[in-house]
Amino acid sequence: MVHAYAGKILRVNLSEKRGIRVEPLDMSFAKKFLGGKGFGAKLLYDLVGPNVDPLGPDNVVMYCTGPLTGTLAPTNRYCIVTKSPLTGLFSDSYAGGYFSQELKYAGYDILMISGKAARPVYIWIDDEDIEVRSADHLWGLDTYQTYDVLKKELEDETMKISCIGPAGERMVKFALVDGDYHRQAGRCGTGAVMGSKNLKAVVVRGTGEISVADPKAFDEAVWKCYGEIRESLGSQDYTRGGTQSFTAFANDQGFFPAKNFQDGFFEKHENLGLESQRKHLWLREYGCFACPIHCTKLGMIRRGKWIGTVCDIIEYESVGLLGGSCEIDFLEAVAYANLLCDKLGLDTISTGNIIGFAMECYERGILDKSSTDGLDLTFGNWKAQLDLIKKIAYREGFGDVLGDGVMRASRRIGRGAEDIAVHMKGMEAPAWGPRGSAGMGLALATSDRGCDHQRGWPIAYETGASWPFGGPLDRLTLEGKAKVIKWEQDHLAALYSLVVCEFSRSGISNDTYAKLVSAATGWNIDYLGLLHYGERIWNLIRMFSIREGIGREQDAFLPKRFKEPLPSGPAKSHKFTDEEFNKMLNDYYEERGWDNNGKPRKQKLRELELEDLTTS
Amino acid sequence: MRKLVSGYFDLCTGCRICELACSAIKFGAYTPRKAHVAISIESQGLRAQPTICIQCQNAPCLRACPTDAIQRDEKIGAVVISEEKCTGCRMCIPACPIKAIYFNATTRKATKCDLCNGDPVCVKYCPTKALALIG
């Protein structure tokens, strides 16, 4: 009997009339790559070469579950892997909610979608009954409308739905995949890949069972998690205020992306922060599947023109980009913009970043009303932001230019716009301006999916916390940063392969994760073993990036903004220089066992049992 | 004597830990759709409502059962099903107005919350005390 896994892979080729295939999950593959990110990395490496257009039929979208998915292990998420239309690289995007568990209960560890349907379709998985159905009637609907229609049509309120909005249909390069209300796999443009396949939604109902190898040990590990979460101040912060404790922190420390990252501090940030949201929006706590932290806060807009609208917490990232980066401090407008992005299917991080960029272009005279379809893009103009969100989602006029992402838009606009586009490898920067944290600069630059904060967050260790293999670090020194970034990346790659939420790190100890996975699978994996998995997966993805043409030149690219001195805060006047940055990169490549151009050395690949890649 | 697990929407976060814990006890595996407690999500998530047998004083399932397989266990305070006596006729299932009695497709018998012999696991695992044993 298979434990911890459902034991099957479901492949759907939308180009074929009878394109549905169910295959057994190869357990040696499972043991080598664990799940989630690891599964996706191996399959994408094998299936999607450098000549594959991310928006062409040969790209694949994979919903990958992990060995803990569907069990009591705290914090289950879902993982979607594809080749990103935004970066052209490996991309993995995650969301909480209830979808991936259902897929596993239906009997599948992985749902792999390839090809392209001739007409809009959705995939309906009812345990072993799988159908590709027409979605002509769903095309054009927003995500919430899609849920309503599908639940009515399938006569069941309890099925789990993952879908795209109009932005995905129009292949906006940062379109997201929505997973039931309030949960989005936001980054990398996964929604555009679904749209390119004419795939509107995946609907699942699963009634099967997932067992663990050692139920008693597993239960003990689960209770250990509960205890650690209860005792942890970090977890308590998430329980009390979700990601909102970060708004004050980031402003105090100078990391907030104020005015398209011009500064690290937004003087009106409190209007968008924890106390303001608690007072004006939140009504209750909401948890993802199996999570006792329940960081999400649900609420209702209770002032002004959107009164009565149900809304989610405005997460820190969305406050940073839709709010701070556009200099908007009108709480309800940001809550509504956030909801609009969810419904239309846009990543709030990329969307906020790119609107902040357009506003700076407008301020500098690079753009005027003649090129913005008459929109007044003055910083702080929330009405224009809402209009622009719709234009981007529907790719209308100026929105069509922005819909290709900030890198391409800035090139098309020209006249110096490229200097104020804040991205790395084509991915819009998240709400952690790295100036003031040398480590964060390196983390963003070496993240596998482009400019991203969820592949390493050394800010914690640069503002007072210890890490497992050392004490706190000075925020501006270069030495020692490579080591901590490598550990963060390996650690998170392992967690993303178990497909747990990184917020659970606030409480659950490293050894407890290892206990969970060992008891679930019956394999004896300690924390160092988990890290080894993480390192293997990270290097495999690096080989994918190398094959796509990534090397030092791309890693070392810094947005011009990060080379300008930070105007305020505790790290006032800090900036990155190419020379210092390359020095950190040297350390990082060395630490990783990669050559001078950032390619994993053969010895490293052998050490990670990736010998088959040594010839490429 | 009557005891019951009461579920409160104001504290329920919709995390479904109760469903997982219940299914693990009853089926030896995680299979929340078979659990004897069910969380329904309404109003775009603003309401998460646990539904669980209230161990009726006047129990429609008990009255509908043609074989007297459903009885009140006075010691535990629950309405319980005797597996030996249950013929799997399913008369009890539509009789329950809150849909808190289920049919187990494997054993071909009716099944429901029996308060875990007086110490319900759902209450024990619930992280927010949204479930409580009362009575």
Which chain A residues have a beta carbon less than 8 Å from that of B46?
A: 283-284, 298, 300, 310
For residue A601, what pLDDT is reported? 97
Give the pLDDT band (50/70/90) at residue A76.
confident
> Computed over its alpha carbons, how large is the radius of gyration of chain B?
14
What CATH number does the domain located at A258-419 have?
1.10.569.10
Tell me the one-letter amino acid at A375.
Answer: L
Interface of B with A (CB under 8 A): 10, 13-17, 20-21, 23-24, 27-34, 40-41, 43-46, 48, 125, 127-128
Residues in chain A: 616
Only one residue has tokens 């209007």, namely A271
Residues in chain B: 135
Task: List the domain boundaries for chain A.
Answer: 8-205, 258-419, 438-613
- Mean pLDDT, to the nearest integer, of A286-300? 95
For residue A616, what pLDDT is reported? 60
Q: Which residues contact B6 (CB under 8 A, 6 or more apart)?
A: B52, B54, B131, B132, B134
For domain A438-613, which architecture applies?
Orthogonal Bundle (1.10)
Q: Which residues contact A384 (CB under 8 A, 6 or more apart)?
A: A375, A376, A377, A378
Q: Which stretches within A232-330 are classed as H helix?
A: 233-241, 245-253, 258-261, 274-280, 316-318
For residue A337, what pLDDT is reported? 98
Chain A residues 157-186 with a CB less than 8 Å from chain B: 157-158, 181-182
Under an 8 A CB cutoff, do A209 and B31 touch? yes
- Mean pLDDT, to the nearest integer, of A404-424? 98
Of A144, A211, A289, the CB nearest to B28: A211
Tens digits of residue pLDDT in A37-51: 999 999 999 999 999
CB atoms within 10 A of CB B132: 14
Under an 8 A CB cutoff, do B30 and A208 touch? no
CB atoms within 10 A of CB B90: 15
Measured CA to CA in angstroms, residue A130 lies from A18, A19, A102, A124 at distances of 11, 11, 14, 6
**pTM (predicted TM-score):** 0.97
For residue A427, what pLDDT is reported? 97
For residue A579, what pLDDT is reported? 96
**CA–CA gap between residue A89 and residue A188 (Å, rounded):** 9
Residue A137 has pLDDT above 80, yes or no: yes
Q: Which stretches within B46-133 are classed as H helix?
A: 60-64, 92-95, 121-125
Strands A160-163 and A177-179: antiparallel
Phi, psi of A372 (to 5 degrees): -110, 20
Among chain A residues, the shortest Cα distance to B124 is held by: A223
**CA–CA gap between residue A475 and residue A435 (Å, rounded):** 10
Number of H helices, E strands in chain A: 25, 17
Under an 8 A CB cutoff, do A286 and B28 touch? no
For domain A8-205, which architecture applies?
4-Layer Sandwich (3.60)
Minimal CA separation from B113 to chain A, in Å: 19
Tens digits of residue pLDDT in B1-31: 899 999 999 999 999 999 999 999 999 999 9
The SS3 assignment for A93 reads strand
For residue A75, what pLDDT is reported? 82
Predicted ipTM of the assembly: 0.96
Instruction: Judge whether A8-205 and A438-613 match in fold.
Output: no
Under an 8 A CB cutoff, do B31 and A105 touch? yes
Under an 8 A CB cutoff, do B17 and A72 touch? yes
For residue A181, what pLDDT is reported? 87
Task: List the domain boundaries for chain B.
Answer: 4-129
Give the pLDDT band (50/70/90) at residue A614.
confident
Class of domain B4-129: alpha beta
Tell me the one-letter amino acid at B18.
Answer: C
Only one residue has tokens 């329920």, namely B12
What does the longest C-alpha to C-alpha distance in chain A come to?
A: 68
Among chain B residues, the shortest Cα distance to A105 is held by: B31
How is residue A344 written in tokens?
A: 């239309």
Q: Which residues pair with A313 in a beta bridge?
A: none
Tell me the one-letter amino acid at A396.
Answer: E
Tens digits of residue pLDDT in A559-603: 999 999 999 999 999 999 999 999 999 999 999 999 999 999 999
**CA–CA gap between residue A332 and residue A186 (Å, rounded):** 21
Tell me the one-letter amino acid at A133.
Answer: R
Measured CA to CA in angstroms, residue A64 lies from A449, A453, A494, A519 at distances of 17, 21, 14, 21
Best of A285, A297, A504 to disrupt the B interface (most B CBs within 10 Å) is: A285
Residue A354 has pLDDT above 90, yes or no: yes
Under 8 Å between Cβ of A523 and A216: no
**CA–CA gap between residue A159 and residue A179 (Å, rounded):** 11
Tens digits of residue pLDDT in A306-343: 999 999 999 999 999 999 999 999 999 999 999 999 99
- Mean pLDDT, to the nearest integer, of A215-232? 98
Phi, psi of A244 (to 5 degrees): -75, -15
The SS3 assignment for A50 reads coil
HSE-CB for A257 with a 13 A CA cutoff: 32
**Which letter does DSSP use for residue A566 in this model?**
P
- Mean pLDDT, to the nearest integer, of A258-286? 98
- Mean pLDDT, to the nearest integer, of A216-235? 97
DSSP string, A3-33: -SS--EEEEEETTSTT-EEEEE--HHHHHHH
The SS3 assignment for B31 reads coil
Residue B94 has pLDDT above 90, yes or no: yes
Chain A residues 310-349 with a CB less than 8 Å from chain B: 310
Among chain A residues, the shortest Cα distance to B20 is held by: A72
